[in-house]
Amino acid sequence: DVKVTQSSRYLVKRTGEKVFLECVQDMDHENMFWYRQDPGLGLRLIYFSYDVKMKEKGDIPEGYSVSREKKERFSLILESASTNQTSMYLCASTLQGKGSQHFGDGTRLSIL
């Protein structure tokens, strides 16, 4: 079974801090994704990576950046955290050309 692991289940940070969310997958998937989940808004794509060191902006990239130095690891970075970035963050991965995505269990991030 595919395993997508997010490093933290809960995280509390302060406004202005630089925040790193880490995601690792163990199935050699090319594509990895970061979403944020807010009530009534579903899952919104922040960034997507289709290969090492490659990235594409999703629907809501503002205030975020990403890093993919190794195939199995995809990091989401909040350069200067703000309270409106309090949310559930979900990482997913998939094989190139395959539609179905495999998700981690999420990181609930609170910015105070």
Q: Which of residues 9-48 bind another protein (CB under 8 A)?
A: 31, 33, 35, 40-45, 48
CA distance 45 to 17: 22
Residue 101 makes contact with another protein by CB under 8 A: yes
- How far apart, in Å, are the Cα atoms of 98 and each of 9, 93, 102? 27, 10, 11
Binding-residue pattern over the window 48 to 87 for another protein, x denoting contact by CB under 8 A? x-x-------xx----------------------------
* Binding residues for another protein (CB under 8 A): 4, 31, 33, 35, 40-45, 48, 50, 58-59, 90, 92, 94, 96-97, 99-106
